Amino acid sequence: MITKTGTDIECAAALLRNGETVSIPTETVYGLSANALNESAVLKIFEQKNRPAFDPLIVHIKCKDELEKYAIVENKRVWKLAEAFWPGPLSIVLPKKDVIPDLVTSGLETVALRIPNHPLTLNLLEKIDFPLAAPSANLFGSASPTCAEHVLDQLDGKVSYVLDGGETKLGLESTIVRFTSSGPEVLRLGGLTIEQLEDALGENINIIRSSSSNPEAPGMLSAHYNPGIPVIMGNINENRKKFGHKKIGALTFGADIQDENVASFELSSTQDLEEAARNLFKGLRYFRKKNVDIILADWLPEKGLGRAVNDRLRRAAVANYT
């Protein structure tokens, strides 16, 4: 397979109609998409990214009217969130309708749905008459891609087309929400903050710290976002003393590291959480090119997008020990 890259929406639409996969830009990260209603097309997603079949996919729709084609909406708060945040970085888990193949949801009775906020992809969704199943366009377990080049790094020769929409605005995946009898729950922290959700709903949200042993969120493994290099969390300058004999990469957030032996990548020099979120996956990839032995990073403040960044760092750090 020769992978083409460009901004040709007609070409992307034709390939998708043919049951091929296409990488799509969203405001969060790039997705590896296929016709969600076509099982053999969806199977290609799992094969191309080595994704285990127990990890369900998010289904991308073009407008709110489509929600009830694919899911059962009984809770009014679902509409409230859809009104407030779609198109945007929010996936909502709902009881699924039969048209959604079991392969998409890994056999679950629920489906995660969202409307992505990127002009090219919204345009593409208008041109096709099916929704798009799309996980992040990376090999299973590694950092999500925030530009076309990252997609090609891992999926060149596998995916048929990369729709190049430039760098993604947010750089972190969508926040995943579901409603239970005890209230709203966040299954994955992401581009929409807890504060934004609580403001819109007027109630507290429970954050589920899921792991591989939590059957409610099969894909939210405790070890994920593996940069292929050990990640050590905590005070960077303290840890530099401990690991001084190694080639160190420092992922910094306003900390000034003046040491030419340390490869630094600044998440945000001004301690801006949005900027840090946007740069996180780029930073994790950067150190691979620098051939460092170890990545040192410090926790961000546990608020706003800082929470979602910390969540990714925690999983990247766990990856070393499992």
Catalog residues that contact ligand TXA under the rule CB under 6 A: 26, 28-29, 31, 55-58, 91, 93, 105, 108, 110-112, 116, 134-136, 173-174, 176, 187, 217-220
For residue 202, the minimal CB distance to Mg ion (Å) is 31
What is the C-alpha to C-alpha distance for residues 104 and 114, in angstroms, rounded to an integer? Answer: 14
Residue nearest to ligand TXA (CB): 219
Residue 239: C-alpha distances to residues 37, 64, 257, 286, 321 (Å): 50, 48, 12, 20, 18
For residue 109, the minimal CB distance to ligand TXA (Å) is 8
For residue 91, the minimal CB distance to ligand TXA (Å) is 5
For residue 316, the one-letter residue type is A
Decide which of ligand TXA, Mg ion, none touches 28; Cβ closer than 5 to 8 Å per partner kind.
ligand TXA
Residue 28 or 136: the one with the smaller Cβ distance to Mg ion is 136
Residue 304: which of 266, 279, 286, 277 has the closest Cα? Answer: 277
For residue 290, the minimal CB distance to ligand TXA (Å) is 26
- Selected binder of Mg ion within 136, 160, 193, 239 (CB under 5 A): 136
Residue 172 or 248: the one with the smaller Cβ distance to ligand TXA is 172
Q: Residue with structure tokens 């405001």? A: 27
Q: Which tokens go with 247?
A: 């080639």
Residue 186: which of 170, 203, 167 has the closest Cα? Answer: 203
Residue 136 or 264: the one with the smaller Cβ distance to Mg ion is 136
What is the C-alpha to C-alpha distance for residues 163 and 311, in angstroms, rounded to an integer? Answer: 29
Residues that bind Mg ion (CB under 5 A): 136
